[in-house]
Structure 1
Amino acid sequence: MDITSDSHSQHISRQFNQELEELKTHLMAMGGLVEKQVQDAVFALLEGDSRLAEKVRDNDRQVNDLQLQIDDECTRVLARRQPAASDLRLVLAVIRATSDLERIGDEASKIARNALLLSENSGNIRGLVEVRHISEHVRKMLRDALTAFARFDTDLAMQVVREDEFVDDEYGSAMRSLMTFMMEDSRSISSVLSIMWVLRALERVGDHANNLAEYVVYLVKGLDIRHSDPDAIDPQVLKKS
């Protein structure tokens, strides 16, 4: 049984429908917050803005509180409504998505901590170009995954899933380049290690965005595509109404 915007709005209980819509709204609010956390953390690093980095680090508690709030709302919906079929999938997808969003918030905090360390470095920092490029890529993945969730858009979700492989390739290439540079200049080891941790955090943001996109496919089609090759999934299955 597929879920669509029309079927999702046609519940017998208006109150139940409102509860489900609130779950989605709160998830989108949490998604917007963690997206801003990643954006600010990267900006703080690239611009050497220690005050902004501290703000990102301190805001992590807000992300955690949102996860607890949404989890509590999901628990109450499950207990009181005992949803079935597509409604149950929505609640389960929200629970899974909040976990990934919380972890993205953790990765943003890691980037902020390394930004603070690097702000003490007065020399040229190698790897900022790679950070800028990969951060733009994973932030678009995150934004598209959240949009796909809001619109129940499996096509956009699958685009995000396919993008994750390109991010992994970019990450691997950047790490090899930085390893070579670090071996050639031992004075750069400290700053390069910090950049490598930042790149690792960004790669993990991409992984979590990929997870969010996979939940969209599960939500809309009831199909679990985790651990599946995106190219091996029949497009007709995703488009089938």
Structure 2
Amino acid sequence: MEHEKTQIERHTSKQFDVELEDVREQVLTMGGLVEQQIANGVKALIDGDSALGEDVARSDYKINTMEVAIDEACTKILARRQPQAGDLRLVLAIAKTITDLERIGDEAEKIGRMAVHLAGKDRPPSAFRQISQLGGHVRQMVRDSLDAFARMDTEAALAVAQHDAEVDREYEGVMRQCITFMMEDPRTIKHMLDVMWSVKALERIGDHATNISEYVVYLVGGRDVRHLSIEELEKEAARAISPRTGQ
């Protein structure tokens, strides 16, 4: 495993190093744009800012364009370099990561569109405070998963996966509150459904951030850890850490 780790960090071909680093930087740039889309989408929703919501929805093409460009770069690396072991996992992890980032962008676009629909509607303060908190948490999950990817840090990746359970609890709390509002005043049903779609989009963003963190464990440890429980993921993360720490 240490040998594979070394392959990722240092190659005999300097040009290969340059290509891998360039693609990795593109992923992080795409991640930064996705983070901003989340922040703007949630702000538009909370503030009732239809113009900002429209901007979020219209800007989704930028994320899509970056996904296509990075995917093409990965395809060229696979064709030209035929990477092995750790290098191959790195390219595959990048390809998987940008797919999740693109889907996070789609969820942010939904939030932007819902913000436009909800502009000018009554905004239950307690529910929207919770949405703001949930939005901040999922944005942090995305940031932390990308940071774990940048540093190939399985401990940080595991922390992201563990945080998803808290996001799920917050999501369920907001949904219960929305249902209560609709039961108390049926006139709110239409726009509260839009709120619920937005909250569901935030919950899905947390799931995609968790996926990215799992790719980090795969990248470092060499095993596909999707669909594992948190307990099983903890064991895999520890196993991936051991060869690097001498444990």
Task: Please say whether Structure 1 and Structure 2 have the same fold, judged by a TM-score greater than 0.5.
Answer: yes
Q: Which is worse superposed, 180-189 or 151-160?
A: 180-189
Q: What TM-score do you get using the length of structure 2 for normalisation?
A: 0.93
* AA matched with 1:49: D
Counterpart-to-counterpart distance in 2, 1:120 and 1:82 = 55
Quick check: 2:60–2:106 contact (8 Å CA) kept in 1?
yes
Aligned: 1:86 with 2:86? yes
Q: CA deviation at 1:125?
A: 3.6
**3-state SS in 2 of match to 1:227:** coil
Residue in 2 that maps onto 1:39: 39
Q: Which is worse superposed, 228-237 or 49-58?
A: 228-237
Quick check: 1:125–1:192 contact (8 Å CA) kept in 2?
no
Q: CA deviation at 1:124?
A: 3.4
* AA matched with 1:9: E
Residue in 1 that maps onto 2:156: 156
Quick check: 1:100–1:208 contact (8 Å CA) kept in 2?
yes
Counterpart-to-counterpart distance in 2, 1:32 and 1:188 = 35
Aligned: 1:53 with 2:53? yes
Q: CA deviation at 1:7?
A: 4.5
* AA matched with 2:158: M
Matches within 5 A, 1:186-197: 186-197=186-197
Matches within 5 A, 1:1-241: 1-2=1-2, 4=5, 7-121=7-121, 123-125=122-124, 127-232=127-232, 233-234=234-235, 236-241=238-243
Deviations 1:93-150 (A, max 9, x none): 00000100000000000000000011132x3346211211111111111000000000
Q: CA deviation at 1:194?
A: 1.1
Deviations 1:39-61 (A, max 9, x none): 00101111122111111111101
Question: Deviating runs (4+, > 4 A) in structure 1?
Answer: none
Quick check: 1:153–1:216 contact (8 Å CA) kept in 2?
yes
- The alignment covers a number of residue pairs equal to 239
Q: CA deviation at 1:208?
A: 0.2
**3-state SS in 2 of match to 1:168:** helix
* AA matched with 2:216: V
Quick check: 1:125–1:191 contact (8 Å CA) kept in 2?
no
The gaps in structure 2 that reach 5 residues or longer are none
* AA matched with 2:117: L
Counterpart-to-counterpart distance in 2, 1:124 and 1:52 = 17
**3-state SS in 2 of match to 1:240:** helix
Counterpart-to-counterpart distance in 2, 1:178 and 1:52 = 24
User: Structure 1 pair 125/191, CA: closer, same or farther in 2 (3 Å)?
Assistant: farther
The gaps in structure 1 that reach 5 residues or longer are none
Counterpart-to-counterpart distance in 2, 1:14 and 1:8 = 12
Q: What TM-score do you get using the length of structure 1 for normalisation?
A: 0.95
Counterpart-to-counterpart distance in 1, 2:205 and 2:175 = 16
Counterpart-to-counterpart distance in 1, 2:238 and 2:111 = 40
Counterpart-to-counterpart distance in 2, 1:236 and 1:151 = 16
* AA matched with 1:55: D
Deviations 1:1-58 (A, max 9, x none): 2554x54332000000110101100000100001100000101111122111111111
